[in-house]
Amino acid sequence: MKIFVTRKIPFWDAEIKPLVDAGHELVVRTENSAISAAEMKAELAKGYDGLLTLLTDKITADILAGDTNKQLKIIANYAVGFDNIDVAACKERNIWVTNAPSDAVNESVAEMAWTLMLALTRRLNEASEFMHNAAYTGWEPGIFMGSDMKGKTLGIVGMGRIGSMVAKRAQGFEMKVMYHSHKPMEGNEFEYKANLEDLLKQADYITLHVPLTPETTHLINGKNLPLFKKGAFLVNTARGPVVNEAEVAEALRAGMLAGYGADVLENEPHPQAELLQMENVILTPHIASATTTARRDMTKIAIGNLVTALAGTAPANMLQ
């Protein structure tokens, strides 16, 4: 069977043996950039049984339209999130859609959330830039004073697998943990807040771990930003549009937030311009899961989903 891969992924050469052994024909796009809708549609018109996509590849109902796509059996998304794919449209066409979650990926994202929280509270980006600019002339007792995390309150928005891992690490800092989700999590000893506003008013650190849905788009916005506890830090390693970046910038400018750290952007790859000018903002280029262990796991999972589906068996990590 024939498989189209939109871009070669990490550890591809080391992990493709199962696809090769199964006798599948692999067409791997050589460009190291996101594929356009027009190019995707034209490529799929050639007729493929499997498709491996990245989160930057948009799969819409329009792209899937046409008789040639009737042979498409599976779209294996090389990501945990899947807001780049119209899953409902795929289901209508009997196309399986899978993602690539793993504990290694979850651990990496949880660690990144903590990296951003620690860097913000200790002003590491400012201090590093200070050093790179050769501005350091000697120790001073009041230079780049930050905040302590011990004993503070951590608010987790979305207590799924990643949120739970973030919460466990908070115990090492002797922090109080509270969380907001659709419902309380069974077996969870942390304080549940049914109303997001209650969490925002009490937490010193708020970290976001929700999927991108119509309900979570601009979950953090100009209406609830004034409710944040004075001196609070906000971290986003979920999806960029979960926050309204322009309104976060306004809140930072007004002193409603002490700092903002994000590994994801509302309009990737372009951050809100004002955020780039702020010293109490740390932005990273969507690298939360960019560890060798996580990436290799993702590659194995995505390839395994393709092999299983093209053998006629429902794959793991099905989204329909």
Annotated catalytic residues are 239, 268, 286
Q: Is 64 helix (H, G, I), strand (E, B) or coil?
A: helix
Do you find a cis peptide bond into 269, omega within 30 degrees of 0? yes
Token code pair at residue 160 = 């799924």
Spell 146-182 as b/e; 16+ CB within 10 A means b. bbebeebbbbbbbbebbbbbbbebbeebebebbbbbe
Q: Where are the alpha helices (DSSP H) in the chain?
A: 12-15, 17-21, 37-44, 61-64, 87-92, 103-121, 124-132, 161-170, 196-202, 245-253, 273-276, 292-310
Round to whole Å and give the CA distance between 50 and 25.
Answer: 10
Token code pair at residue 162 = 């990643």
Longest Cα–Cα distance of the chain, Å, equals: 71
Round to whole Å and give the CA distance between 197 and 193.
Answer: 9
Backbone angles phi, psi at 3, to 5 degrees: -125, 135
Token code pair at residue 33 = 């950039």
Tokens 């906000």: give the residue. 234
Round to whole Å and give the CA distance between 160 and 170.
Answer: 15
Q: Is 67 helix (H, G, I), strand (E, B) or coil?
A: helix
